[in-house]
Amino acid sequence: MRHTDRIIIVGFGSIAQALLPLLTTNYNAEIIIFDKEIDQIRKDIAKEYSVILYRKFISEENFREILSPLLTSSSFLLNLAVSVSSTALIELAQRHKTIYLDTCIEPWEYYSQESNLLLSNHTLREHLKKQEKIHTGTTALVAHGANPGFISILLKKAMLEMAYTNNINDTPTEQSEWAKLAAKLGIQVIQISERDTQICSRSRKPDNFMCTWSVDGFITECLQPAEMGWGSHEREIPFGATVKTHSLELSDPGREVSVKSWSPNYLEFTAFLLTHNESLSIAEYLTLGDPSTPTYRPTVYYAYHPCDQALDSMKLLSNGNEDLIASREVLKDDIVSGIDELGIFLISTKYKSYWLGSNLSIGKARKMAKHNSATSLQVTSSIVAGMKWAEQNPESGVLESENLDWQFIYNFAEPYWQPIVTQETDWRPNNSCKELTFKNFRTPSQD
């Protein structure tokens, strides 16, 4: 068991700001934050929570010099910035025996000189898996926010509940046992299904990009190649797509790929297939047999319909870059209503499909924690849950969310995610064809 007396945060965007109320409730620790930008809002929030805030741009050239003096075995390093290398910070943290957590695997720069494209999540994840202390050394939790992160915890809970409902009494503990249960349940498609209905009181200015979480992060996902875990039942590779070890990379960016999804509150909706780490990590975790020719693996992808202002903002990416964007804004205090409906959707060929997730509203989120929206509270509660687990397991090496004690994480974060909704459904994306192949989920306009 580690005791944390100092928390170092790289990046002071909307998630880090929303995290402070939870950190100060759960920790009696010095909090030091670095960000390349410091405006009055950041200053005020830092002062409110007695945080030490430095205006420092953390780069490949200076990160060791700035961070090393602060890292000890009783420190905790949180990487909540875009384009601050996860691999570099993990290596530094492990050298100083400092526990580490991030919510997304980040590079120093997303743009690849070799391909003239943004780096894919497959590339970033495979590079991180080569980390020297991948299975040993001080604990480093990677890609552990809401999704990726807590959604993998909900995956295991949903599988167990679906099994119980169908009189299957398996109690998996190892990776292969979870994969066998998924196969037994006939799960061919897993969607990380999200429909954000939070709305702002103000209209969007024509050149202003709005969303309910990191604007830079969302834009990057919109422009990155769309990726998914590629199921063993799939027979038709989309035109121009590239098959990787556990995944498939489409030739189109996420903003140009749409699919049909479903949720208990909104029912059927059209969503964007954005690349996300959990699409790859879940697919790998639930693989049986040789990864190149698996006997079983589900198709896994993130199906996201953002809030209305974010959907409208995506028009500013129509030329394939960020040139049309003059300003950026994370919606928080101006949200007047709505929920962030986020869950795991297990689509089966044997049984009714099963959706489990959160219907958290903006009203409840604000009552639970100041400076939060429904979207941010789902992320921040998972971060603190991951921190608590890491302190009890400080020498576990580099881990993704699938490898954590799901019950421990769930028990901590669940009150913040309530109401948790479960529902069985006979929904299919195409009533004339019952096959659960990707082409039946992808909307015709994108075929």
pLDDT digits (tens, 9 = 90+) for 367-398: 999 999 999 999 999 999 999 999 999 999 99
Please determine, for residue 147, whether its predicted confidence score (pLDDT) is greater than 70. yes
Q: How much is the pLDDT for 131?
A: 80
Considering the domain boundaries, does residue 1 fall inside one?
no
Q: How much is the pLDDT for 115?
A: 72
Provide the mean pLDDT of the chain: 96
Provide the phi-psi class of 390: left if phi over 0, else alpha when psi is between -120 and 50, else beta: alpha
Q: Report residue 256's pLDDT band, with 50, 70 and 90 as the boundaries.
A: very high
Same structural domain for residues 14 and 125? yes
Q: How much is the pLDDT for 132?
A: 67
Q: H or E segment at 378? A: helix 374-392
Contact present, 429 and 440 (Cβ < 8 Å):
yes
Q: Which domain holds residue 28?
A: 6-141
Same structural domain for residues 155 and 134? no
Considering the domain boundaries, does residue 35 fall inside one?
yes
Q: Which residues contact 200 (CB under 8 A, 6 or more apart)?
A: 210, 307, 309, 331, 334, 335, 336
Q: How much is the pLDDT for 444?
A: 74
Considering the domain boundaries, does residue 352 fall inside one?
yes
Q: How much is the pLDDT for 447?
A: 36
Same structural domain for residues 192 and 74? no
**Count of structural domains, the chain:** 2
Say which CATH number the domain at 113 has. Answer: 3.40.50.720
Q: Cα 21 vs. chain centroid, distance in angstroms?
A: 21
Point out the domain boundary residue: 141, 163, 178. Answer: 141
Q: How much is the pLDDT for 341?
A: 98
Which of 294, 268, 246 has its CA nearest to residue 347? 268
Chain segment 176-230, per-residue pLDDT in tens: 999 999 999 999 999 999 999 999 988 999 999 999 999 999 999 999 999 999 9
Point out the domain boundary residue: 120, 141, 162. Answer: 141
First-last CA distance in the chain = 52
Same structural domain for residues 66 and 119? yes
* Structure tokens, 249: 């990379």
Q: Report residue 336's pLDDT band, with 50, 70 and 90 as the boundaries.
A: very high
Chain segment 272-295, per-residue pLDDT in tens: 999 999 999 999 999 999 999 999
Say which CATH number the domain at 294 has. Answer: 3.30.360.30
Please determine, for residue 133, whether its predicted confidence score (pLDDT) is greater than 80. no
Phi, psi of 307 (to 5 degrees): -65, 165
Please determine, for residue 119, whether its predicted confidence score (pLDDT) is greater than 50. yes
Q: How much is the pLDDT for 431?
A: 81
Contact present, 191 and 301 (Cβ < 8 Å):
yes
Chain segment 64-98, per-residue pLDDT in tens: 999 999 999 999 999 999 999 999 999 999 999 99
Distance (Å, whole) CA 367 – CA 324: 37
Chain segment 398-413, per-residue pLDDT in tens: 999 999 999 999 999 9
Same structural domain for residues 258 and 349? yes
Considering the domain boundaries, does residue 73 fall inside one?
yes
Point out the domain boundary residue: 87, 120, 141. Answer: 141
Please state the rounded mean pLDDT for residues 12-18. 97
Please determine, for residue 174, whether its predicted confidence score (pLDDT) is greater than 80. yes
Q: How much is the pLDDT for 433?
A: 80
Q: Report residue 446's pLDDT band, with 50, 70 and 90 as the boundaries.
A: very low
Same structural domain for residues 287 and 428? yes
Q: Report residue 124's pLDDT band, with 50, 70 and 90 as the boundaries.
A: very high
Please state the rounded mean pLDDT for residues 328-343. 96
Q: How much is the pLDDT for 136?
A: 84
